[in-house]
Structure 1
Amino acid sequence: MSSDTPVPASRRRFLKNAATGAVATGALAAPMVSRAQTTSLRFQSTWPAKDIFHEYALDFAKKVNDMAGGRLKIEVLPSGSVVPAFQLLEAVNKGTLDGGHGVVAYHYGKNSALALWGSGPGYGMDPNMLLSWHYYGGGKALLEEIYKAINMDVVSYLYGPMPTQPFGWFKKPIAKVEDIKGLKYRTVGLAVDIYTELGAAVNPLPGSDIVPALDRGLIDAAEFNNASSDRMLGFPDVVKNCMLQSFHQSTEQFEILFNKGKYDALPAELKAIIDYAVQAASADMSWKAVDRNSKDYDEMKKSGVKFYKTPDAILRAQLAAWDKVMAKKSGENPLFAKVLAAQKAFAQRAGQWQNDYLVDFKVAWNHYFAK
């Protein structure tokens, strides 16, 4: 239609009504957006402010906050801001905190089965496979069953497969199984039982207390988690020997907790944002860990820290000790046995697939870089 063609009366009425409707719709929509309230949730992590783990907690919160567009805001405080690290679960359950960021193994004292999400060899699964079991092999329902059994009214999300944790930091390298006997050693979760079985005197200290205890001689050796956290905590300042590779905590991941009442009150779209933020943060954490852990590992080697591979005899002794602990705990706790059975069934199938399909990447790395 050209610009000088007359517009029929019916057409003029249609355009006028459409414009009036658009103005009315816009007038209604704008106040709805401006009146949208922000739900603020106060979280605490179980990590010191400078630890990369606390950074992971902040990364998760930022993803939620960005995607929620102002409708939901999560603030994350560092460990000890409201409660001690090992009291996070109770604080979230009671509503003292709206949520938190930590690891399931920290709740080990409430029910020993909780430590199975992280402690031990996981029937040969790596941390990502254990997360696969959790979300697709029945682990999530079992975790909910355990929390219900101990009267913890929380919503739990697991994410972020951690790299295999070192055996730990020692004043002198551990050459044989007998060297563990009598050692004053720090660890947490079911690793406490493993090393107690091997003859160590175990003290489950929170992360911020480990290096001061090492420095004062209150403990002889300790493990925490990874190159970045260990370096930040100051292990290289007080001990110069680190033993790499271990089965005591080779399948661990992070946990994001919500107070169930606060979570249930959220609309469905905000719950969906949280769900997808967990998945995004899990991938992002994995990628960041590769970059940062490798840099900190390299820096510690340059600073004079000596790294040793844990001898195979000790790895086998860990597995033998684990088997004894599993038999004992299964007899004491039906939920413990139930979780183990579910893990074992999944691990046998998934592990067979992974072991058969995955190439040994060391072959290629050695081809290009080994001297």
Structure 2
Amino acid sequence: MTDVKTQRPGRRGFLKTAAVGGAVAAAGTLAAPQVSRAQTITWRFQSTWPARDIFHEIAGDYVKRVNDMAGGRLRLELLPAGAVVGAFQVMDATHSGTLDGAHGVTVYWYGKNKAASLFGTSPPWFRDANNFLGWFYHGGGEALYNEMINDVLRLNIVGFLTGPMPTQPLGWFKNPVERVEQLRGLKFRTVGLATELFNELGMAVVALPGGEIVPALERGVIDGAEFNNPSSDRVLGFPDVAKVYMLQSFHQHVESFEILFNKQKYEALPAELKAIVRFAVEASSSDMSWKIQERYPKDLIEMTQRQGVRAITTPRPILEAQLRAWDAVVAKLEGDTSSPAAGPFFKKVCDSQRDWCRRTGTYFLRNEAPSVLAFNHFFARG
């Protein structure tokens, strides 16, 4: 066995080595921020929501996850609706590169192709929005979405769906709507396929972005409106202009958010940053589904107990009328071969969704114990 002897450096040798090492360390310390700055990609990422809305907060949750995981290599700069373009213009702005990315919903570009709403506010054949996202990511929905983006509309866009939303209330009214006949002639705000649905029920539909709804309701431009949920509705000021809040509806039984990026810029990212962008979609989707369980009920209680809001369950005849109206809307759009905004592609997406819902719905309806039974047992005792 060889005996290895360690030679201790002299004082001058030690100081010389330390000086050189210290110089290298100092150079590294000074150089690191410059390298980091040179590698950072900064993208303007606009939401379609007012800054005070919980939806803008949820967009920020996604942005934080990307920025934290990217480690300084990619940074999304979050902007509220209107900072660069209006809420309904984010798709075009992302396509052109005016924006690098956006957070919104597919119904906001319903005017480009009516099938767009099938990827956000489809007919109510899905059990819930998580069931819808299951179809999108595991039932063929994402391939159909990409076909619409790339082949039908030819947009310079990469998109992801995220954030399962609960059933949206029928909306806000000055007086309760107790009969189907009362819907006829009402001027009402909604978006996407719900415009077709409420038109079928005889309502006069107006499409407005979130920030314009309450002023229109206050001025009497519209008679009623829906936006999305108690937290958004409360902060947007609905309780200040209407006191009747009708819960339960089939007009937007499920919905999810859409995250968009300019395709050229996204494809130029290295593989690991692409992965971060995509996996942050999944992470923020889960976090949102947990967050709203706390926020939505709390804000509904605040409105009913402190702001004089009457929360009323939509009568069953209105719900049944909505389902019949959905039959008519879907049949009309599937059979419309005269327009590239509907017809064969619309039916192709609907067929895929119906197949998924028939298979998954059969299982879950047979397997799941009724939650109402358990809730009433534990919490509804006299």
Q: TM-score, normalised by structure 1?
A: 0.91
Percent identity between matched residues is 55
Secondary structure of the residue aligned to 1:326 is helix
Matched, 1:350 2:360: yes
Q: Which amino acid aligns with 2:211?
A: S
What is the distance in 2 between the residues matched to 1:117 and 1:176? 31
Map of 1:190 onto structure 2: 193
Secondary structure of the residue aligned to 2:107 is helix
Report if the CA contact (8 A) 1:118-1:250 is conserved.
Answer: no
Matched, 1:317 2:321: yes
Map of 1:181 onto structure 2: 184
Map of 1:71 onto structure 2: 73
1:367 corresponds, among 348, 356, 377, to 377
1:161 corresponds, among 149, 161, 164, to 164
Map of 1:15 onto structure 2: none
Map of 2:268 onto structure 1: 265
Q: Offset of 1:155 from its aligned partner?
A: 0.5
What is the distance in 1 between the residues matched to 2:78 and 2:93? 14
What is the distance in 2 between the residues matched to 1:118 and 1:176? 28
Matched, 1:202 2:205: yes
Q: Offset of 1:362 from its aligned partner?
A: 2.2
1:44 corresponds, among 36, 39, 46, to 46
2:112 corresponds, among 110, 113, 123, to 110
What is the distance in 2 between the residues matched to 1:280 and 1:323? 35
Report if the CA contact (8 A) 2:94-2:102 is conserved.
Answer: yes
Q: Offset of 1:76 from its aligned partner?
A: 1.1
1:216-231 alignment to 2 at 5 Å?
216-231=219-234
Q: Which amino acid aligns with 1:110?
A: K
Q: Offset of 1:360 from its aligned partner?
A: 1.9
Q: Structure 1: which 5+ residue stretches go unaligned? A: 10-22
Map of 1:35 onto structure 2: 35
Change (3 A) 1:366 1:105: same
Q: Structure 2: which 5+ residue stretches go unaligned? A: 7-20, 337-342
Q: Offset of 1:121 from its aligned partner?
A: 3.3
What is the distance in 1 between the residues matched to 2:62 and 2:104? 12
Q: Offset of 1:364 from its aligned partner?
A: 2.3
User: What are the superposed Cα offsets for residues 308-342 of structure 1, whole Å, 9 maximum, x if unpaired?
Assistant: 11111111111111111111111122110110000
Change (3 A) 1:136 1:120: closer
User: What are the superposed Cα offsets for residues 59-97 of structure 1, whole Å, 9 maximum, x if unpaired?
Assistant: 000000001111110011000111110111000000000
User: What are the superposed Cα offsets for residues 267-315 of structure 1, whole Å, 9 maximum, x if unpaired?
Assistant: 0000111111111100000111111111101101102211111111111
Q: Offset of 1:368 from its aligned partner?
A: 2.6
Q: Offset of 1:193 from its aligned partner?
A: 0.5
Q: Offset of 1:8 from its aligned partner?
A: 6.6
Secondary structure of the residue aligned to 1:35 is helix
User: What are the superposed Cα offsets for residues 134-167 of structure 1, whole Å, 9 maximum, x if unpaired?
Assistant: 0011111111111121121100010100011000
Map of 2:88 onto structure 1: 86
Report if the CA contact (8 A) 2:120-2:257 is conserved.
Answer: no
Q: Offset of 1:34 from its aligned partner?
A: 5.8
Matched, 1:135 2:137: yes
Matched, 1:328 2:338: no
What is the distance in 2 between the residues matched to 1:363 and 1:241? 28
Q: Which amino acid aligns with 2:52?
A: K
What is the distance in 2 between the residues matched to 1:240 and 1:120? 28
Q: Offset of 1:365 from its aligned partner?
A: 2.1
Report if the CA contact (8 A) 1:49-1:79 is conserved.
Answer: yes
Map of 1:337 onto structure 2: 347
Q: Which amino acid aligns with 1:247?
A: F
Secondary structure of the residue aligned to 1:146 is helix
Matched, 1:7 2:4: yes
Q: Which amino acid aligns with 1:328?
A: K
Secondary structure of the residue aligned to 2:125 is helix
1:208-287 alignment to 2 at 5 Å?
208-287=211-290
Q: Which amino acid aligns with 2:346?
A: F
What is the distance in 1 between the residues matched to 2:94 and 2:366? 42
Map of 2:99 onto structure 1: 97
Secondary structure of the residue aligned to 2:303 is helix
What is the distance in 1 between the residues matched to 2:126 and 2:98? 38
Q: Which amino acid aligns with 1:353?
A: Y
Secondary structure of the residue aligned to 2:311 is strand
Range with greater deviation from structure 2 (185-194 or 34-43): 34-43
What is the distance in 1 between the residues matched to 2:126 and 2:313? 19
Q: Offset of 1:206 from its aligned partner?
A: 0.8
Q: Offset of 1:131 from its aligned partner?
A: 0.4
What is the distance in 1 between the residues matched to 2:50 and 2:273? 28
Map of 1:14 onto structure 2: none
Report if the CA contact (8 A) 1:117-1:251 is conserved.
Answer: no
What is the distance in 2 between the residues matched to 1:293 and 1:317? 27
Q: TM-score, normalised by structure 2?
A: 0.89
What is the distance in 1 between the residues matched to 2:130 and 2:217? 32
